[in-house]
Structure 1
Amino acid sequence: MKQSSLLKNLEYKSDRPAIKVLFESDFTKEIRIVFKSGQSMQEHKTGFPITVEIFDGELNFGVNGEVHHLERGDILALGPLVPHDLTAVTDCIVRLSLAKGDTVQRVIGVTQNVD
Protein backbone atom coordinates (compact mmCIF):
# COMPACT_ATOMS: atom_id res chain seq x y z
CA MET A 1 0.00 0.00 0.00
CA LYS A 2 1.13 3.53 -0.75
CA GLN A 3 -0.33 6.55 1.00
CA SER A 4 0.06 10.31 0.81
CA SER A 5 -1.91 13.49 1.53
CA LEU A 6 -3.15 16.24 -0.75
CA LEU A 7 -3.36 18.61 2.24
CA LYS A 8 -0.20 18.05 4.29
CA ASN A 9 2.89 20.20 3.72
CA LEU A 10 1.23 22.54 1.22
CA GLU A 11 3.72 24.89 -0.41
CA TYR A 12 2.59 27.80 -2.57
CA LYS A 13 5.27 29.32 -4.80
CA SER A 14 5.06 33.01 -5.61
CA ASP A 15 6.26 32.69 -9.21
CA ARG A 16 4.74 29.43 -10.49
CA PRO A 17 2.60 26.42 -9.52
CA ALA A 18 4.24 24.04 -7.04
CA ILE A 19 4.62 20.38 -8.09
CA LYS A 20 4.94 17.49 -5.63
CA VAL A 21 5.04 13.80 -6.47
CA LEU A 22 2.71 12.09 -3.98
CA PHE A 23 3.65 8.55 -5.00
CA GLU A 24 4.10 6.14 -7.89
CA SER A 25 2.01 2.99 -8.15
CA ASP A 26 2.43 0.10 -10.54
CA PHE A 27 0.18 1.94 -13.01
CA THR A 28 0.31 5.70 -12.36
CA LYS A 29 2.25 8.63 -10.98
CA GLU A 30 0.14 10.74 -8.61
CA ILE A 31 1.07 14.41 -8.49
CA ARG A 32 -0.19 17.41 -6.54
CA ILE A 33 -0.11 20.81 -8.24
CA VAL A 34 -0.71 23.80 -5.97
CA PHE A 35 -1.66 27.08 -7.66
CA LYS A 36 -1.97 30.55 -6.20
CA SER A 37 -4.84 32.52 -7.70
CA GLY A 38 -3.85 33.75 -11.17
CA GLN A 39 -1.02 31.27 -11.73
CA SER A 40 -1.16 29.21 -14.89
CA MET A 41 0.37 26.45 -16.95
CA GLN A 42 0.66 27.42 -20.60
CA GLU A 43 -0.78 25.27 -23.36
CA HIS A 44 0.92 21.89 -23.56
CA LYS A 45 0.16 18.26 -24.36
CA THR A 46 1.41 14.80 -23.49
CA GLY A 47 1.67 11.56 -25.38
CA PHE A 48 -0.27 9.76 -22.65
CA PRO A 49 -3.78 9.99 -21.16
CA ILE A 50 -4.14 12.00 -17.93
CA THR A 51 -6.74 12.43 -15.20
CA VAL A 52 -7.16 15.79 -13.46
CA GLU A 53 -9.09 16.30 -10.21
CA ILE A 54 -9.81 19.70 -8.69
CA PHE A 55 -9.38 18.86 -5.01
CA ASP A 56 -9.94 22.43 -3.84
CA GLY A 57 -10.49 25.83 -5.44
CA GLU A 58 -11.50 26.85 -8.95
CA LEU A 59 -9.62 26.51 -12.21
CA ASN A 60 -10.14 27.42 -15.85
CA PHE A 61 -9.10 24.43 -17.95
CA GLY A 62 -8.60 25.15 -21.64
CA VAL A 63 -8.96 22.31 -24.15
CA ASN A 64 -8.35 23.02 -27.83
CA GLY A 65 -9.03 26.72 -27.21
CA GLU A 66 -12.30 26.19 -25.29
CA VAL A 67 -12.30 27.15 -21.58
CA HIS A 68 -14.03 24.90 -19.03
CA HIS A 69 -14.59 26.29 -15.52
CA LEU A 70 -13.83 23.56 -12.98
CA GLU A 71 -14.59 23.66 -9.27
CA ARG A 72 -13.80 21.64 -6.16
CA GLY A 73 -14.66 17.99 -6.72
CA ASP A 74 -14.64 18.12 -10.53
CA ILE A 75 -12.62 15.47 -12.33
CA LEU A 76 -11.77 14.98 -16.00
CA ALA A 77 -9.92 12.58 -18.23
CA LEU A 78 -7.98 13.74 -21.27
CA GLY A 79 -6.60 11.59 -24.04
CA PRO A 80 -3.07 11.81 -25.41
CA LEU A 81 -1.93 14.70 -27.62
CA VAL A 82 -4.81 17.02 -26.62
CA PRO A 83 -3.58 20.62 -26.16
CA HIS A 84 -4.64 22.03 -22.78
CA ASP A 85 -3.83 24.87 -20.39
CA LEU A 86 -4.73 25.71 -16.80
CA THR A 87 -5.32 29.01 -14.97
CA ALA A 88 -6.23 29.19 -11.28
CA VAL A 89 -9.26 31.37 -10.56
CA THR A 90 -8.65 30.95 -6.80
CA ASP A 91 -5.91 29.26 -4.80
CA CYS A 92 -6.24 25.71 -6.03
CA ILE A 93 -5.08 22.16 -5.27
CA VAL A 94 -5.05 19.80 -8.26
CA ARG A 95 -4.41 16.08 -8.32
CA LEU A 96 -2.86 14.92 -11.59
CA SER A 97 -2.66 11.23 -12.45
CA LEU A 98 -0.05 10.43 -15.08
CA ALA A 99 0.39 7.19 -16.97
CA LYS A 100 3.45 5.27 -15.81
CA GLY A 101 5.26 6.05 -19.08
CA ASP A 102 4.83 9.82 -18.70
CA THR A 103 7.42 11.89 -16.84
CA VAL A 104 7.16 14.20 -13.87
CA GLN A 105 9.96 16.28 -15.38
CA ARG A 106 7.68 17.12 -18.31
CA VAL A 107 5.10 18.56 -15.89
CA ILE A 108 7.76 20.52 -14.01
CA GLY A 109 9.00 21.90 -17.34
CA VAL A 110 5.55 23.26 -18.14
CA THR A 111 5.43 25.15 -14.81
CA GLN A 112 8.84 26.68 -15.50
CA ASN A 113 7.65 28.17 -18.79
CA VAL A 114 5.48 30.87 -17.25
CA ASP A 115 4.87 34.30 -18.68
Structure 2
Amino acid sequence: MITASINDNIIYKKDKPAITLLLETATTKEIRIVMRETQEMKEHSAPKPIVIEIFEGEILFGVHQKELRLKKGDLIALDANVPHNLLCKKDAIVRLTIAKTDSINRVNKVIS
Protein backbone atom coordinates (compact mmCIF):
# COMPACT_ATOMS: atom_id res chain seq x y z
CA MET A 1 0.00 0.00 0.00
CA ILE A 2 1.18 3.51 -0.84
CA THR A 3 -0.35 6.70 0.54
CA ALA A 4 0.11 10.40 -0.18
CA SER A 5 -1.74 13.67 0.31
CA ILE A 6 -2.31 16.24 -2.39
CA ASN A 7 -2.88 18.81 0.41
CA ASP A 8 0.38 18.42 2.37
CA ASN A 9 3.27 20.88 1.99
CA ILE A 10 1.73 23.04 -0.72
CA ILE A 11 4.08 25.82 -1.82
CA TYR A 12 3.16 28.34 -4.52
CA LYS A 13 6.32 29.54 -6.28
CA LYS A 14 6.49 33.14 -7.53
CA ASP A 15 8.16 32.54 -10.88
CA LYS A 16 6.90 29.15 -12.11
CA PRO A 17 4.63 26.23 -11.23
CA ALA A 18 5.78 23.87 -8.47
CA ILE A 19 6.06 20.20 -9.48
CA THR A 20 5.99 17.42 -6.84
CA LEU A 21 5.99 13.66 -7.29
CA LEU A 22 3.31 12.47 -4.84
CA LEU A 23 3.58 8.73 -5.37
CA GLU A 24 4.55 6.05 -7.82
CA THR A 25 2.56 2.86 -8.42
CA ALA A 26 3.31 -0.21 -10.51
CA THR A 27 1.87 1.55 -13.58
CA THR A 28 1.70 5.32 -12.93
CA LYS A 29 3.28 8.36 -11.34
CA GLU A 30 1.00 10.84 -9.58
CA ILE A 31 2.28 14.40 -9.77
CA ARG A 32 1.01 17.60 -8.13
CA ILE A 33 1.37 20.85 -10.07
CA VAL A 34 0.78 24.00 -8.01
CA MET A 35 0.23 27.14 -10.10
CA ARG A 36 -0.36 30.79 -9.29
CA GLU A 37 -2.70 32.92 -11.35
CA THR A 38 -1.05 33.86 -14.71
CA GLN A 39 1.59 31.10 -14.52
CA GLU A 40 1.68 28.84 -17.54
CA MET A 41 3.00 25.64 -18.98
CA LYS A 42 3.80 26.28 -22.62
CA GLU A 43 2.73 23.87 -25.34
CA HIS A 44 4.15 20.41 -24.86
CA SER A 45 3.11 16.77 -25.21
CA ALA A 46 3.59 13.54 -23.28
CA PRO A 47 4.97 10.33 -24.79
CA LYS A 48 2.20 8.25 -23.18
CA PRO A 49 -1.47 8.94 -22.31
CA ILE A 50 -2.09 11.27 -19.34
CA VAL A 51 -4.96 12.25 -17.05
CA ILE A 52 -5.27 15.73 -15.53
CA GLU A 53 -7.55 16.60 -12.60
CA ILE A 54 -8.17 20.13 -11.37
CA PHE A 55 -8.13 19.68 -7.60
CA GLU A 56 -8.41 23.40 -6.83
CA GLY A 57 -8.63 26.63 -8.83
CA GLU A 58 -9.13 27.18 -12.55
CA ILE A 59 -7.02 26.84 -15.69
CA LEU A 60 -7.38 27.45 -19.40
CA PHE A 61 -6.37 24.23 -21.13
CA GLY A 62 -5.40 24.55 -24.77
CA VAL A 63 -5.77 21.45 -26.94
CA HIS A 64 -6.74 20.86 -30.61
CA GLN A 65 -6.97 24.63 -31.31
CA LYS A 66 -9.57 24.94 -28.52
CA GLU A 67 -9.34 26.52 -25.10
CA LEU A 68 -11.19 24.68 -22.35
CA ARG A 69 -11.89 26.36 -19.00
CA LEU A 70 -11.27 23.66 -16.40
CA LYS A 71 -12.23 24.19 -12.78
CA LYS A 72 -12.20 22.28 -9.50
CA GLY A 73 -13.35 18.70 -10.02
CA ASP A 74 -12.82 18.62 -13.80
CA LEU A 75 -10.79 15.86 -15.44
CA ILE A 76 -9.34 15.54 -18.92
CA ALA A 77 -7.57 12.57 -20.51
CA LEU A 78 -5.22 12.89 -23.47
CA ASP A 79 -3.69 10.29 -25.73
CA ALA A 80 0.07 10.19 -26.22
CA ASN A 81 1.74 12.98 -28.21
CA VAL A 82 -1.21 15.42 -28.09
CA PRO A 83 0.12 19.01 -27.86
CA HIS A 84 -1.46 21.02 -25.04
CA ASN A 85 -0.79 24.02 -22.79
CA LEU A 86 -2.04 25.36 -19.45
CA LEU A 87 -2.64 28.92 -18.27
CA CYS A 88 -3.65 29.40 -14.65
CA LYS A 89 -6.64 31.75 -14.23
CA LYS A 90 -7.14 31.22 -10.47
CA ASP A 91 -4.49 29.75 -8.12
CA ALA A 92 -4.65 26.03 -8.87
CA ILE A 93 -3.64 22.60 -7.69
CA VAL A 94 -3.52 20.10 -10.55
CA ARG A 95 -3.08 16.34 -10.28
CA LEU A 96 -1.28 14.81 -13.26
CA THR A 97 -1.20 11.07 -13.85
CA ILE A 98 1.58 9.91 -16.16
CA ALA A 99 2.82 6.46 -17.18
CA LYS A 100 5.43 4.80 -14.96
CA THR A 101 7.82 4.87 -17.93
CA ASP A 102 7.43 8.65 -18.29
CA SER A 103 9.71 10.98 -16.36
CA ILE A 104 9.06 13.74 -13.84
CA ASN A 105 12.17 15.39 -15.32
CA ARG A 106 10.26 15.78 -18.59
CA VAL A 107 7.47 17.57 -16.70
CA ASN A 108 10.00 19.82 -14.95
CA LYS A 109 11.54 20.76 -18.31
CA VAL A 110 8.15 22.09 -19.46
CA ILE A 111 8.26 24.82 -16.79
CA SER A 112 11.95 25.66 -17.21
TM-score by length of 2: 0.98
Task: Tell me how far apart the structure 1 counterparts of residues 41 and 34 of structure 2 sit (CA, whole Å).
Answer: 11
- 1:107 is displaced (CA, Å) by 0.2
Whether 2:9 is the aligned partner of 1:9: answer yes
Task: Deviation per CA, 1:2-61: give whole Å up to 9, x if none.
Answer: 111111100111000000000100010000000000100000011100000000000100
Task: Tell me how far apart the structure 1 counterparts of residues 65 and 40 of structure 2 sit (CA, whole Å).
Answer: 15
Unaligned runs of 5+ in 1: none
- 1:80 is displaced (CA, Å) by 0.5
Q: 2:42: which partner in 1? A: 42
Q: 2:80: which partner in 1? A: 80
After the TM superposition, list the runs of 4 or more consecutive aligned residues in structure 1 that deviate by more than 3 angstroms.
Answer: none
Task: Tell me how far apart the structure 2 counterparts of residues 18 and 95 of structure 1 sit (CA, whole Å).
Answer: 12
User: If each structure's strand is expressed as a fraction of its own residues, which one has the higher value?
Assistant: 2
1:6 maps to a residue whose letter is: I
Q: Percent identity?
A: 46
Task: Tell me how far apart the structure 2 counterparts of residues 33 and 46 of structure 1 sit (CA, whole Å).
Answer: 15
1:39 maps to a residue whose letter is: Q
Q: 1:68: which partner in 2? A: 68
Task: Tell me how far apart the structure 1 counterparts of residues 111 and 2 of structure 2 sit (CA, whole Å).
Answer: 26
- 1:110 is displaced (CA, Å) by 0.2
Q: How many residue pairs were aligned?
A: 112
TM-score by length of 1: 0.96
- 1:64 is displaced (CA, Å) by 2.4
Q: 1:29: which partner in 2? A: 29
> Secondary structure of the equivalent of 2:14?
coil
Matches within 5 A, 1:51-66: 51-66=51-66
